[in-house]
Structure 1
Amino acid sequence: MSTNTQNQTGNLLASLLEINIPSEKMILLKNDKIELTSINKEPYIFIIVSGVVGISSNTNAMIDFAGEGDLLDYNAYSSYLSGQALTDKVTIWRFGQMDIFTQIAQNPVIQMQHYHMLQSIQRRLEQKQIHATLDTKNKIAVFIHTLAVRYNTKVDNQGMLELPHYFSRRMIANYAGVSLGTLTTHLQQLAVEDRVVFNKHVILISENNGVL
């Protein structure tokens, strides 16, 4: 996530906590789940303070990931989405959607902060749609590279980025919309091209990985 985006979310969280609207600080442990959208009760909006969450649909299709400084406001995108903690611990603030909407109507600063964060979600989802049009091998490479850059910015002395271990092979296959066998086949092809290095537990991808 860019520094500007992190600042926007930090500012939004600070603004919401400063005006003292109803809120709840939540601690999720690895694999804990939260409901992100609901049509039967009051919807919530979440802001992640630390940790990483995977966002999936009611068919268990992985559609997005969110981490430190991200807004979780997916109520306009699906009738039902849930989040699952991928890291050992995830810290989240939860707010009622209507409470935030009331503040947005009254406070142009909060309105702008929330708008920028919604745009960040939209850009991620649009980027995924664009990458999904690539051939399978390059789609997998770009998805892995995007996640590695976003969640692990450290490059080793061989110019490789390591995909954090909480992104399992099965999870990446789900996110890319392919079977686990298809993912493995294309990882092997990418390894031959020196674009990835992988084994049972680790996936490394070239810092300068491009679509061939």
Structure 2
Amino acid sequence: MNTDTLTQNETLDTKIQAGKFLTTLLDSGIANERIVLKKNDKIELTASNDTPYIFVIVSGVTSIFSNTNVAIDFAGEGDLLDYNIYSSQLFGKALTDEVIVWRFSQIDVFNQIAQNTELQLQHYHMLQIIQRRLEKKQMQATLDTKNMIAAFIHTLAIRYNTQTDDQGMIELPRYFSRKMIANYVGVGLTTLTTHLQKLMEEERVIFNSRVLLIDAENRI
């Protein structure tokens, strides 16, 4: 089984786990709030007061930013937003036209976890998914700039669009703007465009002002 299949299976498994996790929390009767975000709306993810929260995404995609406005991660349907272990203040921003999340007090969730082993395992599983995503990004960041850009784009493409066209290419969803990709990769827009052109010459990507497709195999 290749890494792409593993990523897709992991995404499906996470959605299943998150669905069970969310249902259990909602059925428990603890305080909760359904929040609807419109595109570019922000949501605080790490505690700046005495009431840290945990979120579960029902639909849509958010970017996760550091307090210096650097995109460090992305989260979509079925993902847990629980970044309270990180010391820096993080916030989410809706990338899609609408993002729906459920919000719970962290202490209420932990009280439920203490009473339910299955809930504890589901929470742990989803935290591990966050950690693996961040570790994978760190590993890809050791590549040279051109291949780092390709690796980041490929990871996002297979995560958020499982459809491959008849030429073996995957389209990156259009809510990942060039500006967003450059921020996530850690390069300027000019540098991003230069390396995309090199990747297109190698037939690894196809791109124009609105569309970016990447080779499903991401051959180096």
TM-score (norm 2): 0.94
RMSD between aligned residues: 0.9
Q: Which residue of 2 is the match for residue 166 of structure 1? A: 175
1:67 aligns to 2:76 (yes or no)? yes
Where do 5+ consecutive residues of structure 2 fail to align? 1-7
Offset at 1:88?
A: 0.5
Give the 5 Å matches for 1:1-212. Answer: 2-210=11-219, 212=220
| One-letter code aligned to 1:89 | E
Offset at 1:109?
A: 1.2
| One-letter code aligned to 1:206 | D
Offset at 1:189?
A: 0.4
Q: In structure 2, what is the Cα distance between the partners aligned to 1:71 and 1:166? A: 20
Structure 1 residue matching 2:195: 3-state secondary structure = helix
Q: In structure 1, what is the Cα distance between the partners aligned to 2:121 and 2:213? A: 38
- Deviation digits for residues 36-67 of structure 1, max 9, x if unmatched? 01232311000000000000001000000000
Offset at 1:177?
A: 0.7
| One-letter code aligned to 2:32 | S
Tell me if the contact between 1:38 and 1:79 (Cα under 8 Å) persists in the aligned partners.
Answer: no
Structure 1 residue matching 2:167: 3-state secondary structure = coil
Q: In structure 2, what is the Cα distance between the partners aligned to 1:131 and 1:77? A: 21
Structure 1 residue matching 2:50: 3-state secondary structure = coil
Offset at 1:78?
A: 3.1
Offset at 1:196?
A: 0.2
- Deviation digits for residues 144-195 of structure 1, max 9, x if unmatched? 0010101011111111110111000011011001111110110000000000
Structure 1 residue matching 2:102: 3-state secondary structure = strand
Tell me if the contact between 1:39 and 1:79 (Cα under 8 Å) persists in the aligned partners.
Answer: no
| One-letter code aligned to 1:18 | D
Q: In structure 1, what is the Cα distance between the partners aligned to 2:99 and 2:27? A: 22
Q: In structure 2, what is the Cα distance between the partners aligned to 1:150 and 1:32? A: 23
| One-letter code aligned to 2:205 | V
Q: In structure 1, what is the Cα distance between the partners aligned to 2:103 and 2:95? A: 18
Q: How many residues align?
A: 211
